[in-house]
Structure 1
Amino acid sequence: MAAYTEAWNASEEILVRMARAVPSVAWGYPAGVSIADLVPSDMKTMVHSHWNKFPPVNPMWHYLLGMVYIILGTVSIAGNSLVISLFTKTKELRTPANMFVVNLAFSDLCMMITQFPMFVYNCFNGGMWLFGPFLCELYAATGAVFGLCSICTLACIAFDRYNLIVKGMSGPKMTSKRATILIAFCWAYAIGWSLPPFFGWGRYIPEGILDSCSFDYLTRDSSTKSFGLCLFFFDYVTPLSIIVFAYFHIVRAIFEHEKILREQAKKMNVTSLRSNADQNAQSAEIRIAKVALINISLWVAMWTPYATIVLQGLLGNQENITPLVSILPALIAKSASIYNPVIYAISHPRYRVALQQKLPWFCIHEEEKKPISDTDSAKTEASSS
């Protein structure tokens, strides 16, 4: 974590120097023009005075970010649509636990559909927000809803894995009804946190290079500051703590369980105490847990820079929050929707089998085995302990 923080600080310093090194006149703008001077007249009251300190960025950044987002948006929409299609149409994949995967893919799909078209349009048409104040607020609110729903869903996936692997048969069984309730809670939780800025607690404003919008983390009045800190704590720290707790105990349980089995096998002078079926079940459990852990680690890596910027804007030195320093972490965070279908779903054993059967030209090879249900998996874990 220290190395990660050091690397991010170094990157931030580079972006700060880039933002201030070249005067705006070099990009064809009159001397003394700030980036805030370029926004349409109907947006000027929404732009924070902090951005008056910075000259316009090199237009190259708008085109570059626009091209990158076209690629990310296309891949994300295609990948998440494929996940939803296969998980809902393949009988073997329609399990309570996989309802969370479908919800995650749906949330990520909605994130890209609502975010990348307007952002790309702005990038190739002057680089400023061109859709007016209302759509700026709506853009920011939808980004908040789908982003928060995704992290809540990831917390549910971690909770489900924790119950299945650590608790085994002693934990509450994940049923379709329970999964539906948890998914509904995630959406209600996300929508609940996106609404306060419309009623005076916090607000949504243009951010960064001013071609996208997010919640205000620069104003330091009590309302805006308290809302930003609550978002940071309840929508980043709290879900992250749940995820870390769950996966810490999952990893510990797996290692302890394997250690006990090895010791027992050694005493009995046999290679393994498991039958082939038990080994397949255990292998599937561990594989899915590892994939989910990788997925969540990537989510943390993508959202932590933005969370750091938000916390710095609320409590720290705002001088280093340049347009590029703020917009790049925000876009990286939103691009998290692209890797979920790649890392989690495609690495899911039964999903790979379904993908191989329905889309053989994907060149994915997965040996088809007898399906292992979540209940059987839990029984295996309980009987082996």
Structure 2
Amino acid sequence: INSKMTRNRGTELPEDFWIPIPLDTNNITSLSPFLIPQDHLGGSGTFYAMAAFMLFIFVFGTGINALTIACTIKYKKLRSHLNYILVNLAIANLLVSMVGSSTACFSFAARYFILGSLACKIEGFTATLGGMVSLWSLAVIAFERWLVICKPLGNFIFKPDHALACCAFTWVFALIASTPPLFGWSRYIPEGLQCSCGPDWYTTNNKYNNESYVMFLFGFCFAVPFTSIIFCYAQLLITLKMAAKAQADSASTQKAEKEVTRMVIIMVMGFLVCWVPYASFALWIVNNRGTTFDLRLATIPSCFSKASTVYNPVIYVIFNKQFRSCILSMLGMSGGEEETSTTQSMTEVSKVGPA
């Protein structure tokens, strides 16, 4: 993939301007993603469809996550250690939907990144920061469940203070991952159809050491949390199977075991849908320099990651009956649901788990 610095009427364009595909033209300056619609990358229908999708993500992602935060503030019964982590996840999702999805929606509607290079850096940084907090929050949730259910530390009690410390941990690690492009290790530029911004994973400019940054993100921000999630949930399922076997005559234990197994599968699948396309595509580009590809395909992983602002709260919050009951009550649609949840079912099973 060729990346070219260009000149427009003798004036050098900002170095943020890169043409990420080979073009046989002497006037590629006219294709800047900050200056004109990128119709050479796709039809108008494609851009408008993406704008509609981003509008959906913005509206529903902002709404669901704002409700999650508001409900936790209003209802004291939701202020448990696990729910603190869920609220941390909601804050990260809210950041991505309000800044990342709204900016992308506006840009797709204009068919180019109309807001300019500074806004591109802000959107790229904000979306990456929120995405990393979200990713590490999922790992912390898995870690918390492992501690509470499997009891590897014996009678250790996971308290709200521990949850708050874990939330702070997610933001520290997310800042470590998202700030380097602001200081010269990689950078934030338009990606895919050039209407949203993210880390530079497809150009070959050695000045920014893009390859090493992509490898850093893959290892530090994908491989480590993914391995942690798989380990914790695998141990959790083993513990639940043992508990269910020990209480084969207990209908409630058997039911809890089935509910939690289903929930764990959904959680892991949600993580994979969110992050595997983005991580694998970026890694493929880094290891296959010079291979041409359709930039519309590069937009898909970014959309999956932004869509996590909707399906993460659906998985972790809406499927939690206690949260769902409070949200319905707050909206004036309370149906008198039983305020139990999969989390409570797991707690019940843990009573017969390893000491």
TM-score by length of 1: 0.77
Q: Does 1:333 align with 2:305?
A: yes
Q: Distance in 1 between matches of 2:212 and 2:353?
A: 49
Partner residue, 1:255: 241
- After superposition, the Cα gap between the structure-2 partners of 1:163 and 1:83, relative to the gap in structure 1 and judged at 3 Å, is same
Q: Distance in 1 between matches of 2:281 and 2:349?
A: 45
Q: Does 1:199 align with 2:168?
A: no
Stretches of structure 1 lacking an aligned partner (at least 5 in a row): 1-33, 263-270
Q: Distance in 2 between matches of 1:284 and 1:48?
A: 54
Higher helix residue share = 1
Q: Distance in 1 between matches of 2:53 and 2:62?
A: 14
Q: List aligned pairs for 1:232-311, cutoff 5 A.
A: 232-262=218-248, 271-272=249-250, 279=252, 287=259, 290-291=262-263, 293-311=265-283
Contact 2:7 2:13 in 1 (8 A): no
Contact 1:111 1:147 in 2 (8 A): yes
Q: 2:86 aligns with which of 101, 104, 115?
A: 101
Q: Distance in 2 between matches of 1:172 and 1:286?
A: 26
Q: Does 1:88 align with 2:73?
A: yes
Task: Tell me which structure has the larger Cα radius of gyration.
Answer: 1
Contact 1:312 1:318 in 2 (8 A): no
Q: Distance in 2 between matches of 1:350 and 1:382?
A: 20
Contact 1:137 1:213 in 2 (8 A): yes
Q: List aligned pairs for 1:59-70, cutoff 5 A.
A: 59-70=44-55
Contact 2:240 2:353 in 1 (8 A): no
Q: Which amino acid aligns with 2:180?
A: P
Q: Which amino acid aligns with 2:190?
A: P
Q: 1:148 aligns with which of 124, 128, 132?
A: 132
Residue 52 (structure 1) shift: 4.1
Partner residue, 1:47: 17
Q: Does 1:381 align with 2:350?
A: yes
| Percent identity over paired residues | 24
Q: Distance in 1 between matches of 2:202 and 2:281?
A: 10
Q: Which amino acid aligns with 2:315?
A: I
Q: Distance in 2 between matches of 1:366 and 1:246?
A: 30
Deviates further, 298-307 or 95-104: 298-307
Partner residue, 1:214: 198
Q: Distance in 2 between matches of 1:56 and 1:186?
A: 36
Q: Distance in 2 between matches of 1:166 and 1:384?
A: 6
Contact 1:107 1:146 in 2 (8 A): yes
Q: Distance in 1 between matches of 2:317 and 2:275?
A: 20
Residue 342 (structure 1) shift: 1.8
Q: Distance in 2 between matches of 1:94 and 1:313?
A: 43
Q: Distance in 2 between matches of 1:305 and 1:316?
A: 16
Contact 2:54 2:101 in 1 (8 A): yes
Q: List aligned pairs for 1:158-177, cutoff 5 A.
A: 158-167=142-151, 170=154, 172-177=156-161
Residue 355 (structure 1) shift: 3.2
Aligned residues: 331
- After superposition, the Cα gap between the structure-2 partners of 1:37 and 1:104, relative to the gap in structure 1 and judged at 3 Å, is farther
Residue 283 (structure 1) shift: 5.6
